[in-house]
Amino acid sequence: MRVPSCMALRLRSVCSPLGQMTEVFRCPNRLGRTSAVALARAGWNVTVTGRRETELQETVTLLNQAAGRQDAGFYVSGDITKEDVVLRVFKETAEKFGRVDLVFCNAGISPPNVPLAEQKLSDWQATVDVNLTAPYLCAREAFRYMEKQQPQGGRIIINGSISAYAPRPFSSPYTATKTAMTGLTKSLSLDGRKFNIAVTQIDIGNAASEMTAKMKSGPGVPQSDGSLRHEPTMDREYVGKEIVHIAEMPLGVNADARKMDVSAKIR
């Protein structure tokens, strides 16, 4: 039995089953960590990566506990908006686990929600770096490994956003990058066919995390009518289960786009 593995960066991570390797980028964000743990529990080897080494170490402990063995988790620290870091993450993961079967590009940031005239170029550039350049670099490196390994192929999952087609007020940097990720996903899916590489975008709405905490506290979040309101969120464990479901599909089956959102009654 092959054991898949998973990689993650910023606590971003990539994960795959035992015998397989997966990378999940941005793990210490709790959504990434939850997904990585779900993959480890399902039998994948998982590599996580990010800039905060202490959180990466904590995540590896959780991965090993979830898998019931001491060799399921691995981490490589670094900033995946940097090309040399991405190259190192894939190289060290492949050296440890032998191959790359799954990459979950989960890194994402949202700059302050302020009117366009007040937005800073530095916030725009940081959002593009994390939300778009990092997934591009990770996908490119994934292609390089998946094309040449035997058996050939693998799967890439990109964490998009419902904001790509239902944006919030004052969110042009975030919305622009998430819309661009849809184009990136479609292009990767087309280019990956001949190499048995499947690519899926998952658009998640209001999963409980640090980024969505403000939806249930303080004044709330901006609405299209100009008001501020609280919104329901959903347990991120559901997202972890969906990531495992997508990861374990045969490569001949591709789910181009998946959407997860909350019911109005979820609290």
CATH of the domain at 223: 3.40.50.720
What confidence score (pLDDT) does residue 264 get? 56
What confidence score (pLDDT) does residue 130 get? 95
What confidence score (pLDDT) does residue 82 get? 96
Between 222 and 37, whose confidence is greater? 37
Q: Is the pLDDT of residue 234 over 90?
A: no
Q: Is the pLDDT of residue 189 over 50?
A: yes
Residues in the chain: 267
What confidence score (pLDDT) does residue 176 get? 96
Collapsing DSSP states into helix, strand and coil, what is residue 208?
A: coil
Residue 1 lies in a domain: no
Query: What mean pLDDT is predicted for residues 31-39?
Result: 90
Q: Is the pLDDT of residue 20 over 90?
A: no
Residue 167 lies in a domain: yes
Q: Is the pLDDT of residue 250 over 80?
A: yes
Give DSSP secondary structure letters for 143-206. HHHHHHSSS--EEEEEE--GGGTSPPTT-HHHHHHHHHHHHHHHHHHHHHGGGTEEEEEEEE-S
Lowest mean pLDDT among 63-77, 165-179, 192-206, 251-265: 251-265
Pairing of strands 6-9, 22-25: unpaired
Residue 265 lies in a domain: no
Query: What mean pLDDT is predicted for residues 48-65?
Result: 93
Lowest mean pLDDT among 77-86, 128-137, 195-204, 214-223: 214-223
Give DSSP secondary structure letters for 42-65. TTEEEEEEES-HHHHHHHHHHHHH
Query: What mean pLDDT is predicted for residues 34-63?
Result: 93
Which structural domain, as residue segments, surrounds residue 56? 6-260
**Other residues' Cβ atoms within 10 Å of the Cβ of residue 89:** 30
pTM of the shown model: 0.84
Kindly calculate the radius of gyration of the chain based on its CA atoms and give it in whole angstroms: 17
What confidence score (pLDDT) does residue 9 get? 34
Between 229 and 95, whose confidence is greater? 95
Closest CA to 49 of 182, 141, 185: 141
The mean of the pLDDT values for the chain is 83
Residue 69 lies in a domain: yes
Q: Is the pLDDT of residue 13 over 60?
A: no
- The total of structural domains in the chain comes to 1
Residue 99 tokens read as 């191959």
